[in-house]
A = this chain, B = another copy of it.
Amino acid sequence: MSGTDGTASIREQASRCREAAQQLAQLDTAAKDALLRSMARALDDDADAILAANAHDLDAARAKGIAGAMLDRLALDGKRLSGIAGALREVAALPDPVGQVTRRETRPNGIQVERVRVPLGVIAMIYEARPNVTADAAALCIKAGNGVILRGGSEAIHSNTAIASALQRAIGEAGLDPAVLTLVTDLRRETMLELLQLTDIVDLAIPRGGEGLIRFVAEHARVPVIKHYKGVCHLYVDRDADLGLALRLLLDGKASRPGVCNALETVLVHADVADEFLPRAAAALRARQVELRGDEATRALVPDAVPATTDDYAAEFLDLIIAARVVADLDAAIGHIRQYTSDHTEVIATRDEAVARRFVESLRSAVVMVNASSRFSDGGELGLGAEIGISTTRLHSYGPMGLEALTVERFVVRGEGQVRHPDLL
């Protein structure tokens, strides 16, 4: 059904994206990489138009009183736009997961069984006012052979339209239906809801943004959703930790970029080293304007620490605040983390191999680090090349998601006429 204004309905748009994705899935790696480089060039070519559209969005956002980090995420300039085009070229240079044979076995009856990666199909990205996601997500989905339906925040609609239009021109020039990249411009909530019900067309929805948006998508979607709500990352400083190393992990984890999901939110300290570690940590945190909120044992050692509440241990502060707690032993640390974990990233500082192993095996978070900073919990840092999101859903993909997470393995079998019941013939 068409909309009353003559535009295609979201179902029609999504169906066309799905058809186009079948064309895309036939392209070989070289053709997809050439397309991604053309898309990068189209962004460069359209820089003036994109920046003008972005200025339009910024004016409207300021008029609505938007400021600070949100305005900053919305803003583009020549340098940022070049960075976005550069990211597309980096995606072009990554290995193509599609067609990879992950396993190969010849069965006793002679049939050869392969597991081969294929694209998921059509991916719906639901995100907030970050125009860079429009290009980044499109590039990753297309590299992995998927159609992509982009539904960004209303504050970025002019920027997103200009970016999508450049990318679609490059797609069309490559002989593909530009609908393989579909930007949803009807931003009514009911249209997004309709998109999230299209179980026969959309293979996966990935929401990116604040917890509110993600919960909304997770609660209303009938299509599969991969999400993460928040990162409440823990550092446990063991009795056998190198305390200098532990302090480095603490400062990097909390102070290097407090507004991201892989920043630390809570530090747990073994009672045997608390009197040595906590005062030193408190001083270093204080010097970096980090507020320390502690339990009674922490405050006995750091008198100016703010009393920590249960809510503090569950919080993703996204700010220069950290919660601290003294724990009796490894088990108490594991117990605390199991209670408060967001399944994102946990870190242990210890020199004791057996303790490290037990920490890793006792926790089921997506990423567990031994003597390394939580800030490495990122697709690029972990070697995925790029990241479309981080999953704390323990299904399909868990932790940072790269290109491979946009594919699935299927079976390809080759035989010479083998049948299961030759006696019947």
User: What residues of B have a CB within 8 angstroms of the CB of A338 in the complex?
Assistant: 22
> Given the complex of chains A and B, what is the CA–CA distance between A251 and B105 in angstroms?
26
| In-complex Cβ contact of A372 among B26, B111, B394 (8 A) | B111
In the complex, per-residue mask of A256-268: 1 if CB is within 8 Å of any chain B CB, else 0: 1100000000000
> Given the complex of chains A and B, what is the CA–CA distance between A230 and B241 in angstroms?
55
- Please judge, given known A-B contacts A113-B383, A415-B371, A419-B252, whether A394 and B120 are in contact too, CB under 8 Å: yes
Residue A413 at the B interface, CB < 8 A? yes
Q: Which of A83-91, A161-169, A360-368 contacts B (4 or more CB under 8 A)?
A: A360-368
Chain B proximity of A222: nearest CB distance (Å): 7
User: What residues of B have a CB within 8 angstroms of the CB of A249 in the complex?
Assistant: 417, 419
> Given the complex of chains A and B, what is the CA–CA distance between A224 and B204 in angstroms?
12
| In-complex Cβ contact of A383 among B26, B107, B204, B415 (8 A) | B107
User: What residues of B have a CB within 8 angstroms of the CB of A424 in the complex?
Assistant: 251-252, 255-256, 288
Main secondary structure of the interface of A (DSSP, over half): mixed
Residue A408 at the B interface, CB < 8 A? yes
User: What residues of B have a CB within 8 angstroms of the CB of A248 in the complex?
Assistant: 417, 419, 422, 425
Q: Which of A4-12, A305-313, A395-403 contacts B (4 or more CB under 8 A)?
A: A395-403
- Please judge, given known A-B contacts A395-B204, A398-B408, whether A372 and B120 are in contact too, CB under 8 Å: no
User: What residues of B have a CB within 8 angstroms of the CB of A409 in the complex?
Assistant: 397-398
User: What residues of B have a CB within 8 angstroms of the CB of A190 in the complex?
Assistant: none
Residue A216 at the B interface, CB < 8 A? no
For chain A, residues 376 to 425, give those with C-beta under 8 angstroms from any C-beta of chain B. Answer: 376-377, 381-383, 393-400, 408-422, 424-425
Residue A203 at the B interface, CB < 8 A? yes
Chain B proximity of A347: nearest CB distance (Å): 9
- Please judge, given known A-B contacts A121-B394, A395-B120, whether A421 and B367 are in contact too, CB under 8 Å: no
Task: Select the residue from A113, A397, A419, A425 with max chain B CB neighbours within 10 A.
Answer: A419
In the complex, per-residue mask of A264-284: 1 if CB is within 8 Å of any chain B CB, else 0: 000000000000000000000
Residue A176 at the B interface, CB < 8 A? no
Considering only CB atoms, which chain B residue lies closest to A223 in the complex? B395
Task: Select the residue from A113, A121, A222, A242 with max chain B CB neighbours within 10 A.
Answer: A113
In the complex, per-residue mask of A25-47: 1 if CB is within 8 Å of any chain B CB, else 0: 11000000000000000000000
For chain A, residues 129 to 145, give those with C-beta under 8 angstroms from any C-beta of chain B. Answer: none
User: What residues of B have a CB within 8 angstroms of the CB of A419 in the complex?
Assistant: 248-249, 251-252, 256, 372-373, 375
Residue A187 at the B interface, CB < 8 A? no
Residue A183 at the B interface, CB < 8 A? no
CB of A361 within 8 A of CB of B22, answer no
User: What residues of B have a CB within 8 angstroms of the CB of A224 in the complex?
Assistant: 224, 393, 395
- Please judge, given known A-B contacts A398-B409, A408-B396, whether A371 and B414 are in contact too, CB under 8 Å: yes
User: What residues of B have a CB within 8 angstroms of the CB of A382 in the complex?
Assistant: 107, 113, 411, 413
CB of A414 within 8 A of CB of B256, answer no
Chain B proximity of A249: nearest CB distance (Å): 7
User: What residues of B have a CB within 8 angstroms of the CB of A105 in the complex?
Assistant: 383
> Given the complex of chains A and B, what is the CA–CA distance between A245 and B425 in angstroms?
11
In the complex, per-residue mask of A233-254: 1 if CB is within 8 Å of any chain B CB, else 0: 0000000001001001101100
CB of A410 within 8 A of CB of B367, answer yes
| In-complex Cβ contact of A376 among B119, B366, B370, B420 (8 A) | B420
Chosen A-B contacts, 17 in total, with CB atoms closer than 8 Å, are A107-B382, A111-B372, A203-B394, A248-B419, A252-B422, A256-B420, A367-B412, A367-B413, A373-B419, A376-B413, A376-B420, A381-B420, A382-B413, A396-B396, A396-B408, A397-B409, A398-B409
Listed from nearest, the 10 A-B pairs whose CB atoms lie closest are A372-B415, A252-B419, A245-B417, A396-B396, A375-B420, A256-B421, A367-B411, A373-B419, A369-B413, A370-B414
Extra contacts besides A251-B419, A369-B414 (10): CB < 8 Å: A121-B394, A224-B395, A249-B419, A251-B425, A367-B410, A368-B413, A370-B415, A371-B414, A376-B415, A398-B410
